[in-house]
């Protein structure tokens, strides 16, 4: 029997117009209305706005969470079930929702606060690197204070995060085919997020987690677990910890997974996984029309 993993993209996968096909569906309209009560603004309006408010962290994270969870509901309603789940950064919250660790409202309230804290953590910089010598890069990072490997996405793509001076110093000291500064407000997934992470951990403490119905691979630890307390502890480290996506990808076949479905806008994660594990069957569900029949 085929084992299937569901994976969920995070910030960077958003696109103007996403979720537009979900607005008039019963599953979508109810969730969008509930989200507006919690957030105080309309997810569909932000997603359709030509002013590109969607690229602001404050809006990006809640919008991705809402759109992706609606698609999860549609998958579940059609009788589809994952054997394993994982999400990239913000996507981990959707993975936990899909695994039954918390309900829609609980997850959205966490994501709303996470977005507010991360949006206010100014002063840092992130850059995506493509085409580099990993050993040289890791050595240079070790020699440079205030910069870390924030996202280890696949063998040929990573993101570094830190102070602007430190990030520029790393880029100046290594050979890299392409480096792209990211449009983010701070140095996410680095120790520079410690203050925001401490505030968020206080919020997390008061939230009750259920044990997961299927194993979850966390960003900070790619080994599969279902225990509620472990999943919460891992999530509490996520804001300052690295996203170990390359290791998550490598773990999938070790768990017997042969099929991966990326649920959410775009195809960033299936693209990353293909580079790491070329034998996996990769599928995408980014709209209602792409939800497979039961």
Alpha carbons 163 and 121: distance in angstroms, whole number? 12
Given the residues 161, 169, 189, 218, the one annotated as active site: 189
Q: What is the largest CA-CA distance in the chain?
A: 54
Strand pairing partners for 7? 86, 262
Count of other CB atoms within 10 angstroms of residue 177:
9
Which conformational region is residue 17 in: left (phi greater than 0), alpha (psi within -120 to 50 degrees), or beta? Answer: left
CB crowding 56-94: b at 16 or more within 10 Å, else e: bbbbbbbbbbbbbbbbbbbbeeeebebbbbbbbbbbbbb
DSSP code at position 212: P
User: Is 249 a residue of the active site?
Assistant: no
Alpha carbons 114 and 66: distance in angstroms, whole number? 14
Given the residues 89, 161, 169, 190, the one annotated as active site: 89
Strand pairing partners for 150? none
Locate tokens 């500064």: which residue?
181
DSSP code at position 265: S
Strand pairing partners for 285? 263
User: Is 80 a residue of the active site?
Assistant: no
Alpha carbons 51 and 135: distance in angstroms, whole number? 41
Q: Which residues are the active-site residues? A: 89, 189
């Amino acid at each position: 029997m085929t084992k299937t993993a569901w994976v969920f993209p995070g910030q960077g996968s958003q696109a103007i117009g996403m979720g537009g096909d979900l607005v008039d569906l019963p599953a979508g309209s109810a969730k969008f209305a509930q989200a507006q009560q919690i957030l105080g603004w309309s997810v569909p309006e932000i997603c359709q706005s030509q002013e590109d408010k969607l690229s602001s962290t404050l809006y990006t994270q809640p919008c991705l969470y809402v759109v992706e969870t609606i698609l999860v509901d549609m998958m579940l309603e059609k009788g589809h079930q994952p054997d394993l789940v994982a999400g990239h950064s913000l996507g981990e919250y959707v993975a936990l929702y899909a695994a039954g660790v918390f309900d829609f409202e609980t997850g959205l309230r966490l994501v709303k606060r996470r977005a507010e804290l991360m949006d206010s953590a100014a002063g840092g910089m992130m850059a995506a690197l493509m085409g580099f010598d990993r050993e040289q890069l890791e050595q240079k990072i070790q020699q440079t204070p205030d910069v870390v490997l924030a996202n280890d996405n696949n063998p040929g793509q990573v993101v570094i995060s830190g102070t602007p001076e430190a990030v520029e110093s790393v880029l100046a000291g290594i050979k890299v085919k392409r480096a792209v500064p990211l449009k983010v407000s701070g140095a996410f997934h680095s120790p520079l997020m410690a203050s925001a992470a401490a505030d968020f951990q206080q919020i997390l403490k008061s939230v009750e987690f259920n044990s997961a119905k299927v194993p979850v691979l966390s960003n900070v630890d790619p080994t599969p677990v279902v225990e509620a307390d472990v999943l919460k502890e891992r999530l509490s480290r996520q804001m300052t910890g690295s996203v170990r996506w390359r290791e998550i990808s490598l773990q999938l076949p070790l768990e017997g997974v042969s099929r991966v479905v990326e649920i959410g806008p775009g195809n960033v994660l299936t693209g990353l996984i293909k580079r790491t594990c070329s034998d996996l069957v990769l599928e995408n569900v980014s709209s209602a029309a792409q939800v497979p029949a039961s």
